């Protein structure tokens, strides 16, 4: 998929994989990048993106996920879902007869991880032997990075404080020491300290616990020379990442945001080809 994503990036209008077909994108949570990159990518593939805000559908009036899946499957080539409840996405996938794409749940963000590995591949030339160090909250983005890293043969180290660490995931190396995690790494990755599905009441405690995990130039200096900084965005400069890194010469963050579109086009092509 990364090979194909790179081809599509070089020739964005070369595929009509979704010609005259619609893709439903259900949002139960806010989004900037995911919505825009899916809508633009589906249009580039010749398809019609149909964004549905969950609160504007009959789901809010008690129609079941099962019935929603049955009906949408009669109209569209694929369904994307962003929700807090991972079980909701799984139930949709169980009853839909078209592919269902996770556009972020509280537990996973696989489309982000696909774009992350694509960005790493572009930055390094190859994923072989690559090490990425994620510092901060062991959240959905960290979990998907660990899962996809294991599939792609990328070494993923995750540095998070006690209480914010991922459960042991295949392949990921877990530590609470950010300096140890980033030493010699090819990329340092961070994400917000308070995610959209976290209890807002926990924000102050999270910021206190995660403060030593900020991605700044000093941390980046410990990585291997030429290492890049990644962030899935939205960022909070001065919190999990400094403005110097976010807008500095070592980041690949804006490229990473663009790569969402190319990576998702490769995914849509794969899932909707008969």
> Footprint of ligand NVA on this chain (CB under 6 A)?
104, 139-141, 191-192, 195-197, 232
Binds 32, which of ligand CP, ligand NVA, none (CB < 5 to 8 A, cut-off by type)?
ligand CP
Residues 79-108, one symbol each (x = binds ligand CP by CB under 6 A, - = not), give: -------------------------x----
H helix and E strand count, the chain: 11, 9
Binds 57, which of ligand CP, ligand NVA, none (CB < 5 to 8 A, cut-off by type)?
none
Cβ proximity to ligand NVA, 36 vs 180, nearer residue: 36
CB of residue 57 to ligand CP, shortest distance in Å = 19
DSSP, collapsed to helix, strand or coil, labels residue 19 as coil
What does the alpha-carbon distance between residue 62 and residue 43 come to, in Å, rounded to a whole number? 32
Place of tokens 């999270």: 206
CB of residue 61 to ligand NVA, shortest distance in Å = 27
| Closest of 263, 115, 78 to residue 189, by C-alpha | 115
Return the beta strands (E) in the chain as ranges: 22-27, 48-53, 78-82, 100-102, 131-135, 155-159, 173-175, 187-190, 228-231
What does the alpha-carbon distance between residue 40 and residue 18 come to, in Å, rounded to a whole number? 12
Torsion of CA 9, 10, 13, 15, to 10 degrees: -80
The active-site residue, picked from 28, 191, 214, 251, is: 191
Check if the beta carbon of residue 138 is closer than 8 Å to that of residue 166.
Answer: yes
For the question of residue 109 being annotated catalytic, the response is yes
Scanning residues 209 to 248, which ones bind ligand CP (CB under 6 A)? 232-234
Q: Which of 9, 21, 33, 261 binds ligand CP (CB under 6 A)?
A: 33
CB of residue 179 to ligand CP, shortest distance in Å = 26
Under the binding rule (CB under 6 A), the answer on residue 76 touching ligand CP is: no
DSSP, collapsed to helix, strand or coil, labels residue 55 as helix
Residues 118-157, one symbol each (x = binds ligand CP by CB under 6 A, - = not), give: ----------------------------------------
Check if the beta carbon of residue 158 is closer than 8 Å to that of residue 172.
Answer: yes
The residues that are catalytic are 82, 109, 112, 191, 232, 260
Name the residues that contact ligand CP, by CB under 6 A.
Answer: 31-34, 104, 112, 232-234
């Amino acid at each position: 998929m990364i090979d194909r994503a790179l081809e599509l990036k070089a020739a964005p209008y070369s595929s009509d994989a979704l010609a005259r077909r619609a893709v439903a994108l259900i949002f139960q949570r806010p989004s900037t990048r995911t919505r825009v990159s899916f809508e633009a990518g589906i249009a580039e593939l010749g398809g019609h993106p149909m964004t549905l805000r969950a609160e504007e559908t009959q789901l809010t009036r008690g129609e079941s996920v099962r019935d929603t899946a049955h009906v949408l499957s009669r109209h569209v080539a694929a369904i994307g879902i962003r929700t807090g409840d991972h079980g909701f996405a799984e139930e949709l996938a169980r009853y839909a007869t078209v592919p269902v794409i996770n556009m972020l749940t509280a537990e996973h963000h696989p489309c982000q991880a696909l774009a992350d590995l694509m960005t790493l591949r572009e930055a390094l030339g190859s994923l072989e032997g690559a090490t990425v160090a994620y510092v901060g909250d062991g959240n959905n983005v960290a979990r998907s990075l660990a899962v996809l890293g294991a599939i792609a043969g990328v070494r993923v180290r995750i540095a998070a404080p006690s209480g914010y660490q991922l459960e042991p995931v295949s392949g990921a190396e877990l530590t609470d020491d950010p300096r140890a995690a980033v030493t010699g790494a090819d990329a340092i990755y961070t994400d917000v300290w308070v995610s959209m599905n976290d209890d807002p009441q926990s924000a102050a405690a999270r910021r206190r616990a995660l403060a030593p995990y900020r991605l700044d130039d000093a941390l980046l200096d410990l990585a291997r020379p030429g290492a890049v900084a990644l962030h899935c965005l939205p960022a909070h400069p001065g919190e999990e990442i400094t403005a110097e890194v976010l807008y500095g010469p070592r980041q690949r963050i804006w490229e990473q945001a663009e790569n969402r579109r190319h990576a998702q086009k490769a995914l849509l092509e794969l899932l909707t080809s008969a």
